[in-house]
Amino acid sequence: MGFSRRAALAAAILCACAAPSGGVLAQGFPSRTITLVVPYPAGGPVDVVARLIAQEAGAELKQSIIVENRAGASGIVGSQAVARAEPDGYTLVLGTNQTHATNQSLLKTTPYDAARDFAPVAGVADIQHVLVARKDLPAETAAELVKLAKDKPGALTYGSTGNGSASHLAAELFKTRAGIDLLHVPFKGAAPMTTELLAGRIDVAFATLPSVISQIEGGELKALAVASATRAAKLPTVATLGEQGVSGVEADAWFALFAPARTPDAVVETLYKAVAAGLAKPAAQDAMARQGLTVAMKTPQQLGAMIPGEITKWAEVIRISGAKVD
């Protein structure tokens, strides 16, 4: 072996010995402030959940977690920043079904791969969607709506909070699974959609439960079904779509915590345990409930298994429907 090869080998061994392993990194983790990126503006539900995580998980870790809002491009700006960050556990993102599932198919290109460029840390919360109807629609359940739609194909309308939105895709998934035709009427947000539904100018919509619960309880709107695997705690008598014969329409909006890919497993586990312990506190669960959210903890392994399935499911809905963002 020549001198240059011996020197190169020695240098490689020295670097390998000097480089800290994931276990070594985790032993002192966290030793400084953690940044939790919210890829949306301040004040929304994702921001609220992030600040709750920062408070509760920070207390468990005995270290500060600061929330940084980096909104833009349907959540891509903040998510991309975290995908490119050092994989040391000190930069995280609170992602959603938009940033880590539907964007992959709705947008022509995304600067990251949601399944490969992130280390799943924890699934944290869900918001259920409910199928609601104008109060004078001659249908009391989703099953009756399906019959009505089949009797009058293309005559009924559904509203959404915008092209490519969660409410739009939930309705398109429902249409496909139920084998019916409904006319799409997109709006710019939940408020105008709900206003038109209350006025009876559209027939049905998929809405997040917090946005319509008061109108349902007041008799101004009818809840036909819950688009989730389980019934809503606030609407215990309203059956899920699956219970009414339309299977496979689980359309919960979900929030989950991610680190950059290649973050050491031991660091991920430390973060997961802190988040799980923090959100298990009754006060944290009450805070979530006040926002209309349900704590829905998933381990890194469960979250990692879920993401590819979510990407595939919504890609198929987008392909069939031709959905595009505004």
Domain 129-244, CATH: 3.40.190.10
Q: What is the DSSP string of 156-178?
A: -EEEESSTTSHHHHHHHHHHHHH
- pLDDT of residue 7 exceeding 60, the answer is no
CA distance linking residue 28 with residue 80, whole number of Å: 27
pTM of the model: 0.87
CA distance linking residue 17 with residue 9, whole number of Å: 12
Structure tokens at 32: 């400084």
**Do 129-244 and 32-126+252-321 fall under one CATH topology?**
yes
Q: pLDDT confidence of 15, banded at 50, 70, 90? A: very low
The pLDDT value given to residue 23: 53
Q: What is the pLDDT of residues 59-107, one digit of tens each?
A: 999 999 999 999 999 999 999 999 999 999 999 999 999 999 999 999 9
Domain 32-126+252-321 sits in CATH 3.40.190.150: yes
Lowest-pLDDT choice from 17-21, 64-68, 249-253: 17-21
Give me the residue spans of the domains in the chain.
Answer: 32-126+252-321, 129-244
More confident residue, 6 or 319: 319
Mean pLDDT of 172-186: 97
CA distance linking residue 295 with residue 282, whole number of Å: 11
- State the first-to-last Cα distance of the chain, in angstroms, to the nearest integer: 64
